[in-house]
Amino acid sequence: MSVLGNAVAQFAETNLASQVGNGECWTLGERALTSAGARTSTEIMGNIGPDDNYVWGEAIGMANLEVGDIIQFRNYTYRFNGSDGAWNQQSRPHHTAIVAAVVSSGVVDVFECNVGGSRNVQRNRIYLQTGALSGGSVTVSGQMWYYRPQARRTT
């Protein structure tokens, strides 16, 4: 894990169960990057709108995810079907999350907010690809982009 990524994740972990700014997921990402000395989405993209697919750093592949990387979601849904018949489904229509841990291939824990009616920072498990898992299977739909924080440019 990079020093920068660790600082991004540490900001989110320090604010666990608290609201960061207005409690929007974008605000958590922006403030975590600022705190770590990384380039923010507004520094990378310039003017942004509330429905943009934000860019958070250097684009990377899912297989390269590590703690402190940022995931941008669009129309994301997962459904976990347990082998015992139980199931769980969650959606993130337009969302930003910070990787807290890589659990296994295609499974990560994330720091996020503005989920489940709460604007506080939470740590949740997210599935990134369809497939079999221990105790069941998961189906994933939507788009996801993965970013590695970049150091802020000095002048």
37-59 b/e (C-beta count within 10 Å ≥ 16 → b): ebbbbeebeeebeeeeebbbbee
Per-residue pLDDT for the chain (155 aa), expressed as one digit of tens each?
Answer: 689 999 999 999 999 999 999 999 999 999 999 999 999 999 999 999 999 999 999 999 999 999 999 999 999 999 999 999 999 999 999 999 999 999 999 999 999 999 999 999 999 999 999 999 989 999 999 999 999 999 997 76
Contact call for residues 118 and 31 (beta carbons, < 8 A): no
Relative to beta strand 87-104, strand 107-112 is: antiparallel
Kindly report whether the global pTM for this prediction surpasses the value 0.85: yes
What are the structural domains, with CATH classification, of the chain?
3-148 (3.90.1720)
SS3 content of the chain, % helix, strand, coil (to 5): 20, 45, 35
